[in-house]
Amino acid sequence: MEKDIILKAENISKQYRLGQVGTGTISHDLNRWWHKIRGKEDPYLKIGETNDRTVKGTSEYVWALQDINFEVERGEVLGIIGKNGAGKSTLLKILSKVTAPTTGSIKSKGRIASLLEVGTGFHTEMTGRENIFLNGAILGMTKKEIASKLDEIIEFSGCERYIDTPVKRYSSGMTVRLAFAVAAFLEPEILVVDEVLAVGDAEFQKKAIGKMQDISRGQGRTVLFVSHNMAAVETLCTRVISMKNGTLCGNGNPTKVISEYLQSSSSSERVISFDSIETAKGNDNIRVLYAAIENASSENKNDIIDVTSDIDFRVKFVNQTNKQRISMGFDLMTIKGDVVFGSGTKINSITNGITEIACRIPSNFLNDDAYQIYVYFHTDEMSGLFYDEEFLSFEIKDVKRESGYLGKVNGMVRPQLEWDIIS
């Protein structure tokens, strides 16, 4: 049986010039034009570095994507996974024709509806109702078609009470609810969804995933889904591709590709350290000079962390704001994206002085698995100062069970509970 290919990416590459708006200087543009009219290849395609953000580069050109090839069948739900900066959003923008590839081509059949950022295509001065018609028109729908779906869109979004209020007064959660409802109900052949669902609450995420399943299974439409929530990707997608530094490194069965991706990611940093404030991780508000997950039960802090070990989460940072009282917290997450728990505290810090803080996670609490720390700093007024979703990562091992024949204990946590024999 012949495959019904609805979307095809052939040799897609995207090059950016760092620090420049557009393609670069007039001299570079003239050089490109001179090569083009003579039928020659773009001279700047031969230069440029891989998009690895962890390494300081020497070239002013960088390849955000390199030689991406894949096909998507009608009715497929394709998951796209990878770390921040892997090129996922750039790829979706090219597939959605928001930006053009430097080389290669995209072939698609039918209408593409994209939900790349909160409020994409919304006009903030217009009401929710007006924006539904505006978005529908952008997607190529007639006014009659939009009107026939209007009640369903409003009901699904949960914004009925505010539908005639300007969108600028909506919260980010309300905006993404309405944007998703418009994109999903106006029946595109291909629905492209970036990480925007993370903005919605748990109830809406469940509704949205259910709607995407209906679109793909019931209506035979195609969904491209980007998320850091591996559990959602594994549940929803029929196939997954993984990306690293702008290239494809996995393509196939969701469970297999996700497992390979998580294993390759789990060896990331347990310790980060910087010599100066200028080079430290952070922004103009907060600079982190040192952070680590340490084995508190061992004199050698870098020893393997066994389930029976206490764990210290240690951070040394500089507060560059004029706020002396700030808050710091973190979510401990499995690398599939499930939050195990969160914790936070208020800190009296010295402006432009170094503050060191530590938090202990007790032994015999976390199960053997790979974890990552999502850290955040904010003011007393809950104004964000700095956050990092992939701040640190580490692995806990069950040395005793690994040496025997017993399998992994079920669950995220495995506390040692006290048992009494009553009779």
pLDDT in tens, 190-211: 888 887 666 666 777 777 778 8
Per DSSP, the three-state class of 223 is strand
Q: Nearest CA to 92 among 75, 72, 74, 73?
A: 72
β-strand partners of 115: 193
β partners of residue 70 = 9
Exposure string of 338-370, with b = 16+ CB inside 10 Å and e = fewer, is eebeeeeeeeebeeeeebeeeeebebebbbbbb
Higher pLDDT, 33 or 328: 328
Q: Of 247 and 27, which is predicted with more confidence?
A: 247
How far, in Å, CA of 84 to CA of 245, rounded? Answer: 9
- For the record, the structure tokens of 185 come out as 């109900």
CA 270 to CA 373: how far, in whole Å?
10
User: Tell me, what's the pLDDT at 400?
Assistant: 76
pLDDT at residue 274 in the model: 93
Q: Say if 71-264 and 271-402 have the same CATH topology.
A: no
CA distance 201 to 175: 12
Q: What is the pLDDT of residue 404?
A: 53
CATH of domain 271-402: 2.70.50.60
pLDDT band, very low/low/confident/very high, at 19 (cuts 50, 70, 90): low
Beta 61-73 vs 49-50: how paired, if at all? Answer: parallel
> What backbone phi and psi angles, to 5 degrees, belong to 49?
-115, 160
pLDDT digits (tens, 9 = 90+) for 57-114: 445 677 888 899 999 998 899 999 988 788 888 898 888 888 888 888 888 888 787 7
State residue 345's pLDDT score. Answer: 93
Highest mean pLDDT: which of 209-218, 362-371, 400-409?
Answer: 362-371
What topology is assigned to 71-264 in CATH? Rossmann fold (3.40.50)
Tokens of 284: 């103009």
- Counting residues of the chain whose pLDDT is more than 90, the rounded percentage is 26
For residue 233, pLDDT over 90 is answered with no
Whether 129 shows a pLDDT value over 70: the answer reads: yes
For residue 303, the SS3 value is coil
CA-CA distance, 65 to 365, in Å (whole number)?
A: 41
Tell me which residue has tokens 């018609």.
Answer: 133
Q: Alpha-carbon torsion 34, 39, 40, 41, what sign? A: positive
Tens digit of each residue's pLDDT (9 = 90 or more) over 254-309: 888 887 887 676 555 789 999 999 999 999 999 999 999 999 988 888 888 899 99
232, two tokens: 């959602």
- Is residue 358 over pLDDT 90? yes
DSSP sequence for 342-397 = EEEEEEE--BTSEEEEEEEEPSS-BPSEEEEEEEEEEETT--EEEEEEEEEEEEEE
Tell whether pTM > 0.85. no
Radius of gyration over every alpha carbon of the chain, rounded to an integer in angstroms: 24
Q: Is the pLDDT of residue 1 over 60?
A: no
Distance CA 249, CA 261 (A): 9
Confidence at residue 130, expressed as pLDDT on a 0 to 100 scale: 93
- CA-to-CA distance for 158 and 145, rounded, in angstroms? 21
124-128, 223-227, 328-332: range with highest mean pLDDT: 328-332
Domain extents for the chain? 71-264, 271-402
Percentage, residues of the chain above pLDDT 70:
85
pLDDT value, residue 164? 93
DSSP 211: H
Sheet holding 339-348, edge to edge: 305-306, 384-397, 369-379, 325-334, 339-348
- Tokens 């103009």 found at: 284
Measure Cα distances from 422 to 91, 282, 417 in Å. 62, 55, 15
